[in-house]
Structure 1
Amino acid sequence: MEGLPVPVTAFGPLHLLVLRVHRLANTGRGHEAIAAADAYLALARLSGEHKSIPYLIQGKMYANLHMGRYPEGAELAEELLRLHRANGSALGEAKTLCDLAHFDILRSRYVDAMRNLARAAVLMDAPHPDRGRRASALCSFAEAATAAEMYENASASYEQLGETTGAFDLVHAMTLLYWGLRLDHIGRHDDAAERLHRSAAITRRHADQRPDDMSAAAMLALALAKLGDVIPAEKLAREAIMPLRAAESFQYARMAHLALGISLRAHGDLAAARTEIVAAGELCAFGGRPDELPIIRFEMALTALAIEDGQSSRDLFEAVVGQTRELWRVRLQRVAMLRQARQQEEAEAARARAEREVLRDPLTGLGNRRRFDLLLDRIDSGRLAAPLVLLLVDVDHFKAVNDAYSHSVGDRALREVARIVRAHCRTEDVPVRYAGDEFTVFLRGDLRVGREVAERIRAAVAHSAIIPGVRLTVSVGLAALTPDMTGDALFRATDDRLYAAKFSGRNTIAS
């Protein structure tokens, strides 16, 4: 990609094109975002610029999300997940699992969603030096949790994000606001007031700094109205409604209408209160959160009861209360599902860590002989198939090194050779310390790829000052897995090539 008039960034040389796709997706121009992403993906693949590909797929995925094309978006999330796993990007995998869970939730596939969120949470819990990418993954987790009305999980995520940046304060305030409204509707008034006060505190700080921000004004008005501070709530709501409707900011316009309706009801102006709450409900036709309509319906039923305290109004209100409690019970089931899925994933991760430790060579950190034998068994059972190349790397004259410099120096040399071998392996390759000074690599690819990797390992060892004053070298034999070949046959073929490399003078490769 030489000559492109763009700098190299975390998004790759095509970063300006990546940003354009995301900007289009996030501003409601989904069709343009998808067309641009397809064009730029073709360019990236043609030029071999693989670094930008995941970000372009991600932008296309978000465009489908905003357009309500959930199956198409989920397919792109699956594709992105495979890329991150192949690249060994744990945080990329975690973020995409959260995005995939978001699509699952929108398609009412809650079991899959909770499993994906649980896996993402376990991945994010591991230590990560890249705080920015972890914050991005945590944001996707919070968004998926919000879509599932799991306010507890979303709020905890936003609190973590708030420790490093204030960029998510208003989103957190909105989570607290809806959480408080739902708690109030099921009769947990003290818990509701606590959330509403926290939401109001956040939005008041923002509104004081940005008095022209009508979205913050609408949020603050709704929190204050439910807390009974109806005079400032009414004033804020009246000022916000028309600017928000004119800007087609319908979610915040709904909040302003609802805040005004609740305030008017408190003043006893019931007809006007009903008009405002009806207006809030009508704006739900323009989309919105799944929890908004139940909230508006509850306030409408409460207003209807205030207008006419007859049997029919009481019956209607009791029906709405029953539905509200049932929705809350279903919501709590999702929270429990996530907790159980998280426990299962943590247990599975602990088992995997224990298994890896059993299969790890303590000196070098590579796989051990037991791992080697298990991989040969996988070849015999057909679970590890071509294209596969086995490399056998042997340190030349290693016994002489031990005899001349001590076993501690020899151990240090083995660790450095292991580091070089590992550095030339991809995520899907498996390096193993076979025995003593011999290493193997189960390499995914053909013989040409195997020769390239073997030569890079040989050259890297030869040019490294592993032991001062000593030129340490390795010989490498390699063979490719062929149809109907057993694991033992592959190893014998590789060992024969290693013998040929040593016979030809060492510090060379043979295939």
Structure 2
Amino acid sequence: MAEHRHLPELISPYGPFAALALHVHELTMLGRQAETLVAADHAEAVASAFGDVRTLRSIRLARLYALTALGRLQEALAVGEELTTPAGPRATDAKILADTGEVLLRMGRIDDGLQHLARAMVILDTAPRGSVRYVSAMYSLCDAAKVAELFELADESMAVPDGIFDFSEQYRSAADQQRAELRLEWGLRLEQVGQEWEAQRLYSTSVELLERWRDPDGPLTSALLALGLAKIGRHKESLDLIGELLMPARLTGQDHEARLLHLAHGVVLRDTGDLRGARREFLAADELAALPAQRLIYRYELAVLATLEFPGEQAQSVLAALRGQLEMLWRLRLDRRAMLQQAQRRLELELARTTADQAATSDALTGLANRRVFDRRIVSAVTGALLLIDVDRFKLINDAFSHGVGDTVLREIAGVLRTACRHDEVAIRFGGDEFAMFLSAGEREARLVAERIRTVILTRDWSDIAPGLRVTLSMGLATTRTGESGTDLYDRADANLYAAKRAGRNRLAAA
């Protein structure tokens, strides 16, 4: 049935141009997709010029939504693939994976789309809960699941209990609207496969959700409500909404709303005996359809209409054939569900192995790599440099200020070392107050790195941890030599470390 209006991404913590991204998101939520793309061009140019990377990411996400709604799926996929590189927060990474998975599903790339959904689900399981960003990601997962006709998963994804956070009226109305749209589409599909009673239940719950919001910001809620009312037989109320909204939706290019209203009008006219008018409305909806799944809905309604217009075997045969096709597609849901569950289990196992490996190779106090990693790296250290680091008089820090203060000092030092590492370098805590770094650098550059670390620790104001606290480091540096073993490299770095201590501490020695 539906491209959708995503809950807006939480963008207020972003850069100084976040208002631009919010404007672009609001346009796509209102269904003004052509305007969205124009506004996105302008907003991206501004955010790029000023280096506002986070806001730029949010703008491009709105572009993905607009392109998807317009049926320009290849362009939408290009944007999604560009955005799926993890950049954090985890809920946002999961949201983008789900959005891109939805595009893949709409393109018929079911396996790839379900893989994206599985990844999004696994990431969301590890993301902090209780924020608008998390809920927004859940609703993106809902939309993608809906495209795959995994309606149960989609409905579960939107079941966010009250009271998790301050859920503003803007988000609550969008949430109810999205759940209502899901249930309408679910009902339409159930009706197609002969489950009319269950379909009516879903139509009724959709109307209940939509009627909570009497003054919606955009026309989508009213268009959905018109369809729900038509399906449960409240024809006059449906016609009032159609008369108010249909022409403006057509004139402003709000194709999704116009399709819903044409469908609702066709249902009312068919139910009240105007079969010719119903055909006109169903055909108008079909002409505006951008996606194959939408056309199946309208063509099913046309096939049902044909059995009323032209009673006889031919029309019944056409309807039976179409129902057979729809029932086969419905059964494919089970395959998709199994594929998604398998992909999710595989990813969870991979995550568990990765987590176990990290736990086995990480220092519990500082999060740095541990002695096990050092033993592996020292064997293969054929280029670069080894820097050994000791905290000067660390026992006195523990004795004078407490072991809790000592632990805080070690964590602070670990943070500095981690920041100093490039992507192929590693910082390690041996235990106690002893650290090591494998640097991908020659002696001159390694000296500069070491001196920067030493200076940062020396000049830091440690009084915020404990009044009178002072921390310095002694360091020994050795660079690799051709044909030298890892043991020899370590011995030279260790000798330099002790030379720095003998020379008075708070210094680097490198021979």
Letter in 1 for 2:345: Q
3-state SS of paired residue (1:291): helix
Give the equivalent residue in structure 2 for 1:43: 49
Give the equivalent residue in structure 2 for 1:82: 85
Aligned partner of 1:361 among 360, 363, 371: 363
In structure 2, the CA distance between the partners of 1:133 and 1:457, relative to structure 1 (3 Å rule), is farther
Q: Distance in 2 between matches of 1:480 and 1:146?
A: 58
**How far off its partner does 1:185 sit?**
1.2
Residues 390-433 of structure 1 deviation map (CA, whole Å, 9 limit, x = unaligned)? 5432112335556x569xx4575145313431355249564432
Task: Establish whether residue 170 from structure 1 lines up as the match of residue 166 from structure 2.
Answer: no
Task: Establish whether residue 293 from structure 1 lines up as the match of residue 295 from structure 2.
Answer: yes
Give the equivalent residue in structure 1 for 2:351: 349
Q: Distance in 2 between matches of 1:78 and 1:138?
A: 19
Number of residues paired by the alignment?
484
Task: Establish whether residue 152 from structure 1 lines up as the match of residue 152 from structure 2.
Answer: yes
**How far off its partner does 1:304 sit?**
0.7
Q: Distance in 1 between matches of 2:481 and 2:84?
A: 30
Residues 433-459 of structure 1 deviation map (CA, whole Å, 9 limit, x = unaligned)? 213321234568864873475235523
3-state SS of paired residue (1:28): helix
3-state SS of paired residue (1:434): strand
* Higher RCO (CA < 8 A, seq sep 6+): 2
Residues 224-260 of structure 1 deviation map (CA, whole Å, 9 limit, x = unaligned)? 3323444543444344433332333222222222222
Q: Distance in 2 between matches of 1:483 and 1:116?
A: 46
Q: Which runs of 5+ in 2 are unaligned?
A: 1-10
Aligned partner of 1:436 among 417, 427, 432: 432
Q: Distance in 2 between matches of 1:90 and 1:443?
A: 29
Aligned partner of 1:418 among 408, 411, 417: 411
Aligned partner of 1:191 among 187, 198, 216: 198
Letter in 2 for 1:416: V
Letter in 1 for 2:414: V
Aligned partner of 1:12 among 9, 12, 15: 15
**How far off its partner does 1:215 sit?**
3.5
**How far off its partner does 1:32 sit?**
4.0
Give the equivalent residue in structure 2 for 1:305: 307
3-state SS of paired residue (1:394): strand
Give the equivalent residue in structure 1 for 2:375: 373
**How far off its partner does 1:472 sit?**
3.6
What's the % identity of the aligned pairs? 34
In structure 2, the CA distance between the partners of 1:63 and 1:185, relative to structure 1 (3 Å rule), is closer
Q: Which moved more, 1:70-79 or 1:255-264?
A: 70-79
Structural mapping, 1:238-249, within 5 Å: 238-249=243-254
Give the equivalent residue in structure 2 for 1:131: 131
Letter in 1 for 2:327: R
Q: Distance in 1 between matches of 2:76 and 2:127?
A: 29
TM-score by length of 1: 0.79
Contact 1:447 1:479 in 2 (8 A): no
3-state SS of paired residue (1:100): helix
Q: Distance in 2 between matches of 1:486 and 1:95?
A: 48
Contact 2:92 2:137 in 1 (8 A): yes
Structural mapping, 1:245-264, within 5 Å: 245-264=250-269
3-state SS of paired residue (2:253): coil
Contact 1:145 1:151 in 2 (8 A): yes
In structure 2, the CA distance between the partners of 1:23 and 1:238, relative to structure 1 (3 Å rule), is closer
Residues 455-479 of structure 1 deviation map (CA, whole Å, 9 limit, x = unaligned)? 3552367735666655342223456
Aligned partner of 2:212 among 205, 221, 235: 205
Contact 1:361 1:367 in 2 (8 A): yes
Q: Distance in 1 between matches of 2:211 and 2:282?
A: 23
Give the equivalent residue in structure 2 for 1:276: 281
In structure 2, the CA distance between the partners of 1:228 and 1:23, relative to structure 1 (3 Å rule), is closer
In structure 2, the CA distance between the partners of 1:248 and 1:410, relative to structure 1 (3 Å rule), is closer
Give the equivalent residue in structure 2 for 1:394: 390
TM-score by length of 2: 0.79
Residues 58-113 of structure 1 deviation map (CA, whole Å, 9 limit, x = unaligned)? 466556556655555545444444361xxx63233223322332333243333232
Q: Distance in 2 between matches of 1:331 and 1:195?
A: 19
Give the equivalent residue in structure 2 for 1:98: 98
Q: Which runs of 5+ in 1 are unaligned?
A: 1-7, 381-385
Q: Distance in 2 between matches of 1:240 and 1:24?
A: 18
Structural mapping, 1:446-461, within 5 Å: 447=446, 450-451=449-450, 454-455=453-454, 457-459=456-458
Letter in 2 for 1:184: E
Q: Distance in 2 between matches of 1:476 and 1:50?
A: 37
**How far off its partner does 1:23 sit?**
6.6
Residues 29-48 of structure 1 deviation map (CA, whole Å, 9 limit, x = unaligned)? 46645654664465235xxx
Once superposed, what is the RMSD of the aligned Cα atoms? 3.9
**How far off its partner does 1:15 sit?**
3.4
Q: Which moved more, 1:91-100 or 1:294-303?
A: 91-100
**How far off its partner does 1:322 sit?**
0.9
Contact 2:91 2:127 in 1 (8 A): no
Q: Distance in 2 between matches of 1:414 and 1:94?
A: 34
3-state SS of paired residue (1:205): coil
Letter in 1 for 2:49: L
Contact 2:369 2:428 in 1 (8 A): yes
Contact 1:274 1:303 in 2 (8 A): yes
